Chain A
Amino acid sequence: MQLDQLPLRKKAWIQDIDWAQMSEDEGKRLEALGIEEGAQVEALHRGVLFWQDPIAVKVGRMTIAIRKAHASAISVSENDESQPQ
């Protein structure tokens, strides 16, 4: 599942990030905000009206705003067992 499809209030873990879908600076910013393989995420809020874009995602102790376009580059899984160590 991609992060943009994750239902609200469901905890999930990041499996894989397709860095090719974003620029280098965007990638750096994502990493800096704690988006990395193995990190726990939870979608908290969706954007306005019918667009539902961007999404507010809880990463660790922080809440970040991320556009769907970027969230779709992030694969997540709802069980932690597959988390790479």
Chain B
Amino acid sequence: MSDAQANTSSLVALVGNPNAGKSALFNALTGARQKIANYPGVTVERKSGYLQLEDGTQVELVDLPGAYSLDAASPDEEVTRNVIIGAQDGERKPDAIIIVLDAANLDNHLRFALEVIDQGRPVIVALNMMDLATRDGLTLDPSALEKQLGVAVIPTVAVRKRGLDDLRTGLENLLATAGNEAKAVEKSTDPKANRKRAQDIAKKAIISETAGRQWTRSLDGILLHPVLGFVILLALFFVIFQAVFSWSEAPIGWIEMAFEWLGNKVSAVVPEGFFQSLLVDGMIAGVGAVIVFLPQILILFFFILLLESTGYMTRAAFLMDRLMASVGLSGRSFIPLLSSTACAIPGIMATRSISDPKDRLTTILIAPLMTCSARWPVYTLVVGAFIPAKTLSGGVGLQGLILFALFLFGMVAAMLVALILRSTITKGVNSGFLMEMPKYQMPRLRDVVLGLWQRASIFLKRAGTIIMVSTVILWVLLTYPKVPIDSDMSQVDYSIAGRIAGGLEPIVRPIGFDRDIALALIPAMAAREVAVAALATVYAIEDEDEDKQTESLRESLQGRWSLPTALAFLIWFVFAPQCISTIAVTRRETNSWRWPIFMVSYLFGLAYIFSGITFWGATALGF
């Protein structure tokens, strides 16, 4: 859609309480052609799409963040209010507003609807989730509601695409008759009077009310059970976690193979030299470095979106809230942090569901401390080389124990950092944990797939470009200047990165690292597991067979590193922000360079301090 077209078509805003089924309605009305961006200066998402009316005209539909009131209590609500009153930076004043009401929750949702109607803008009401209201034993009279509100009311079931044609027709009529002048409406600013009005209107619209089936209540009896519910939650996430690992393994292998094949093909065609190296080692490797994250992101978000659309996600947050509260966070941080144990990138992207901005920022900042899958190759290499494969009493392997301790150490560090951040930089009243617990619903595959596609494209477009650029920069650092043919130095040693490592050596010497380690850490910025390959390069181990390479690398490390150095190296990887992709995603999700820079500095600081403590502690203990 070109900008010229976008500016001439009418703008319609979709508003409503959270959990009113607004997003499902938006998806049903606009289809897959949606555009997601941020409002300028804030990390609030702007979701828009196009909607075709009967007469063939297209209107732009914008899905505003869910809100309880125009009297904003969060950045999301502020954007919603500003758009409705036409004061939002980066948004035209909407020509019409669709209010989405949860039919089963009229008295509560009508308050916000009344506030919006009182603004005097052209309004149409979508009385949504009529099926759930019926399931609850409610019989509603939309025409009575229409009379009370003084605006058109269209019953809809967004997930079944019911009532959408009526809504389009209604919107068409509204746009045809709407002048741009606000009608003079008697405004009640008193929230109490507003609530009273909402209840009165709801009473008149509800024809009859029977007990209905209480599916949600009975299910919650099991899923929110203080013990059983907790066990189910842990089991569920154990399964998801397994899936993220095992299902992604094969696709990641295919992606790596495909890019290797592509690299070989290009190498065969393009003559050796600058361009070949730029294309193969820079560009193709760079794109590969981005795509390789996709399998894990897609699998993880598939489960997250599935659980979200059933309503279970709020239950998970409910169950984990008390634990998270002990470090100043809320239950909503649980899923992003858990996801970060697979990879911090989807984890940080999943923080979008945290409504409180300070909670969200804290969660983003500690996410890299959760032990991600890319650390395992580094851990296993070093642990395998330096920790004897002893079995302790009780059949516990020492190596496994150390690996688990490293995992736990990262998690404990994350919690402690959260506690510190929450009382310093992200200080402020915790917004607590107040949220609506929606009714359980069947998941809508269509919405899940759409959400998946959107997350993937956001990652590829926004984070992907930064990841690719930084991979290319790393390539330049490692490839230039070219080592002279008669020199006996390796290319890595001779490169800019090699020289940087030389400069870093005096800095890392106090924590037991040498120049070779510093050199290996530079390419590991592309992805942590690259450290293994980088060490192999530094120690000039060239073996085609990966297993043999690891074997000889292990021997080589044993010969060169002391135990204190090895331990310090492990601790370094617990903390160090050795991953440009994470920094890129943080930049994208916080909408500024300020927080990624802060994150990198504090993580490097901690890595340095704790590696130092480990090195000197181990040395003092005579290891």
Contact = CB atoms under 8 A, between A and B. Distances in A.
Contacts of A1: none
Contacts of A45: 220-221, 224-225
Given A28-B69, A48-B229, A48-B322, A60 B436 contact: no
B108 A56 contact: no
B321 A47 contact: yes
Given A49-B227, A60-B108, A25 B319 contact: no
Interface in A24-76: 24-26, 28-34, 36, 44-49, 51-54, 56, 60-67, 69-70
Interface string B136-159: 100000000000000000000000
Interface residues of A, number: 34
Interface in B417-438: 429, 431-437
A26 B319 contact: no
Contacts of B112: 32
A79 interface: no
Contacts of B429: 23, 25-26
Contacts of A70: 432, 434
A47 B191 CA distance: 31
A25 B323 CA distance: 23
Contacts of B68: 28-29, 32-33
Interface residues of B, number: 44
B107 A64 contact: no
Contacts of B434: 26, 29-30, 33, 64-67, 70
Contacts of B319: 47-48
Contacts of B435: 64-65
B341 to A, nearest CB: 20
Contacts, number: 114
Q: Give the secondary structure class of A's interface.
A: mixed
A31 B429 CA distance: 18
A65 B195 contact: no
B469 interface: no
A32 B382 CA distance: 54
Contacts of A65: 314, 317-318, 321, 433-437
Contacts of A52: 226
Contact of B436 (A25, A26, A46, A62): A62
Contacts of A51: 322
Contacts of A69: 432
A47 B69 CA distance: 28
A47 B73 contact: no
A30 B432 CA distance: 11
A63 B136 CA distance: 13
B111 A60 contact: no
A53 B69 CA distance: 27
Given A45-B220, A67-B433, A69-B432, A32 B318 contact: no
Q: Which of B320, B321, B322 has the most CB of A within 10 A?
A: B322
Contacts of A56: 220, 224, 318, 437
B73 A32 contact: yes
Contacts of A44: 217, 220
Nearest to B438: A63
A46 B228 CA distance: 12
Contacts of A22: 432
B104 to A, nearest CB: 6
A47 to B, nearest CB: 5
Nearest to B104: A61
Given A48-B229, A67-B325, 9 more contacts: A28-B68, A33-B68, A33-B434, A36-B195, A49-B227, A52-B226, A62-B108, A65-B318, A67-B433
Interface of A: 22-26, 28-34, 36, 44-49, 51-54, 56, 60-67, 69-70
24 contacts: A22-B432, A25-B74, A26-B429, A26-B431, A28-B69, A29-B434, A31-B69, A32-B68, A32-B112, A33-B436, A36-B192, A44-B220, A45-B221, A48-B226, A48-B323, A49-B322, A54-B321, A56-B318, A60-B105, A60-B107, A61-B108, A63-B220, A64-B434, A67-B325
Shortest Cβ-Cβ A-B pairs, 7 listed = A32-B68, A45-B224, A28-B73, A25-B73, A51-B322, A23-B429, A63-B437
